[in-house]
Amino acid sequence: MPSAVRHLTPAESERLQGLPDDYTQIPWRSQNGAPDSPRYKAPGNSMAVNVMEWIGGRIEKVEQHQFSALRPTRQQGIHMHKKIR
């Protein structure tokens, strides 16, 4: 029994990258829609939207934590004030 390789559809490629279905279905050289090859290429040359959102969220959490750690609390402020005198 011969085995066949199943290829992803352009819509599946878009979903894997976090894009909506038919995101790459744009007008192409006076045709109604783009052929599959450029539709595969577009998400392949991009960064995954869901991964970029996750990384951005992690950076934001780290920055919030670092900035809150840099602000002295009231007790630390009093202690620092005593050292300066």
Residue 62 lies in a domain: yes
CA-wise closest residue to 45 among 81, 14, 8: 14
Does residue 2 lie in a domain region?
no
The answer to whether residue 79 sits within a structural domain is yes
CA dihedral 73, 74, 75, 77 (to 10 degrees): 80
Q: Is residue 5 part of a domain?
A: no
3 domain residue, yes or no? no
pLDDT greater at residue 55 or residue 70: 55
**How would residue 55 be classed by pLDDT, with cut points 50, 70 and 90?**
very high
Is the pLDDT at 12 greater than 80, yes or no?
A: yes
Which of the two residues, 73 and 2, has the higher pLDDT score? 2
Look at the chain and report how many structural domains it folds into: 1
Instruction: Give CA–CA dist 80/4, Å, rounded.
Output: 72
d(CA 52, CA 48): 6
Contact 40, 46 (CB under 8 A): no
**pTM here?**
0.58
- Kindly state whether residue 4 falls inside one of the protein's structural domains: no
Range of the domain at 65: 10-84
